[in-house]
Amino acid sequence: MGDGHARVTGAGLGHGPGGGHDHDHGGDHGHGLDPGSGSGGGHGHTHSHGPAAPVSKHLRKVIAAILIPFTAAVVVGLAVLWPGGAPPHARTGVGFDRQTQQATVTKVASVSCKAVNASGETPTGDTSTAEGSSAQQEASGTCKKATIRVDTGKDKGRTFTEIVQPDQSRQLHEGEKVVAAYEPSAPKDLQYSVTDVNRKFPMVLLAGIFAIAVVVVGRMRGVMALVALAVSFMVLTFFILPAILQGSNPLLVAVVGASAIMLIALYMCHGLSARTSVAVLGTLLSLVLIGLLGSGFIDWAALTGNTDDSTGLIHGLYPSIDMSGLLLAGVIIGSLGVLDDVTVTQTSAVWELHEANPSMGWRGLYRAGIRIGRDHIASVVNTLVLAYAGAALPLLLLFSIAQSSVGTVANSELVAEEIVRTLVGSIGLVASVPVTTALAALVVSADRSGPQAATATAGAEAASGGPAAGRSGRGRRRKR
């Protein structure tokens, strides 16, 4: 340009020979550089951080052409698969499938275990074993006789007694709130029994502290994150779980539900923008990879998904549920939360790199972004593996006690499930970094043609006192 102005679309950079011009392009930009005065190249600039520079209308149309049909497909999937509530069934009285009431321990007295022993005889088993030693202790030690009052339900105010053996891990204390299971078909004096401690208050208190911390640190973003978290739980509770119980394909339900959670959470927390849309695309592609890998290796490793009491009870109550499909659904949903973190971070990193140096092409943006991503990969994969290992720690301890070899442990279905879950999720996380970084680099730089890129380079040099600024303050185009 004849007057020496170097303009960068979207970055808000303006430069004039005498400091009298200040061009600001794109009302939604990340940096505004205010020119200094004088014509000899003495320039000062300030940075004002704001939302990311908007991409061109053409790119917005391309992104919309991908995401709008995808969103419509998710909405249709929700409508078609919506269960309308979990199907009813007769209670089995096993595990969580029991009627329960809230109760309070009103009195605890010490009694002789021998006096309350049903047979009245001392066990004569081998006391060198854990079972024999426990039986001997129960017969000769001091037990506790707890009186418990039912606080809810049709038997409110009714009391029953519970004998607590000295070697039981959970000891009852006077005034303690407990959960009592109710079995109507049992004899009247055996209908109620203590199954757990009522820990609602500490759990609610901890949740409140968490919410306050998120809002104080995150402010409005924190509030939106909590709302998105609530919506995610609603989708899980009112759609995913009942739809699986009604016999819908677990994998299809998980894909539709996870996609709905992804769209709601990301756009609610990060706003409706091209930056968020790129993160959504990166997450979607990574979920597809996780689904394909998970499906292939679950079938290849012959994992049934029916490995413990909980899955056995589910299979017994609802034989039509595909348990291996349920395992794959868990892999997809479990990976979604960490994927969101990775894709949003990588997209934001590329956008900030572009705003810091608008002259950088997509290759430079990708190389810089992937260097950030490598650090992210190392920390996230380690976090994921340790999270699964921590959850399976009691199981791993049992194998250690049995002195089983690593190969034997890994080959057991219970551990193999966790290995497949961890590795498939980790592969998806690793793949999400280059995929999302490449998408973000392409999108953020795609609407800049050759001449515009050259102008951006000259403008950046002028702002930093480089070669372009040394020639009487005039911006100069350079061919690439």
> What is the pLDDT confidence band of residue 189, given thresholds at 50, 70 and 90?
confident
pLDDT at 76: 92
> What is the pLDDT confidence band of residue 139, given thresholds at 50, 70 and 90?
low
39-53, 244-258, 333-347, 432-446: lowest mean pLDDT where?
39-53
pLDDT at 48: 39
Name residue 150's beta-bridge partners.
Answer: 103
> What is the pLDDT confidence band of residue 86, given thresholds at 50, 70 and 90?
low
77-81, 357-361, 413-417, 476-480: lowest mean pLDDT where?
476-480
- Give me the mean pLDDT over the 231-239 stretch: 89
Residue 36 has pLDDT above 60, yes or no: no
Residue 66 has pLDDT above 50, yes or no: yes
Edge-first strand order for the sheet with 159-164 is 159-164, 142-150, 99-112, 177-182, 192-197
Alpha helices by DSSP H, listed for 236-322, are 241-245, 250-270, 274-300, 309-317
What is the chain's mean pLDDT, rounded?
Answer: 74
- Give me the mean pLDDT over the 420-431 stretch: 87
- The residue that leads in pLDDT, 135 or 359, is 359
> What is the pLDDT confidence band of residue 167, given thresholds at 50, 70 and 90?
confident
- Give me the mean pLDDT over the 160-164 stretch: 86
pLDDT at 136: 57
pLDDT at 216: 94
Residue pair 179/198 in contact (Cβ under 8 Å)? The answer is yes
- Gap between the Cα atoms of 372 and 305, Å rounded: 37
**CA neighbor of 1 nearest in space, from 466, 452, 450, 461:** 452
Task: Note the pLDDT tens digit of each residue in 113-123.
Answer: 877 764 445 54
SS3 of 46, please? coil
Task: Note the pLDDT tens digit of each residue in 363-385.
Answer: 888 888 888 888 878 777 777 77
> What is the pLDDT confidence band of residue 408, given thresholds at 50, 70 and 90?
confident
Angle at alpha carbon of residue 376, lines to 373 and 380, rounded to 5°: 140
Residue 8 has pLDDT above 90, yes or no: no
Six-digit token string for 364: 């430079």
Task: Note the pLDDT tens digit of each residue in 196-211.
Answer: 888 889 999 999 999 9
pLDDT at 55: 56
Name residue 107's beta-bridge partners.
Answer: 147
Strongest mean pLDDT among 23-32, 168-177, 279-288, 391-400:
279-288
Which residues lie closer than 8 Å to 224 by C-beta, 6 or more apart? 268, 269
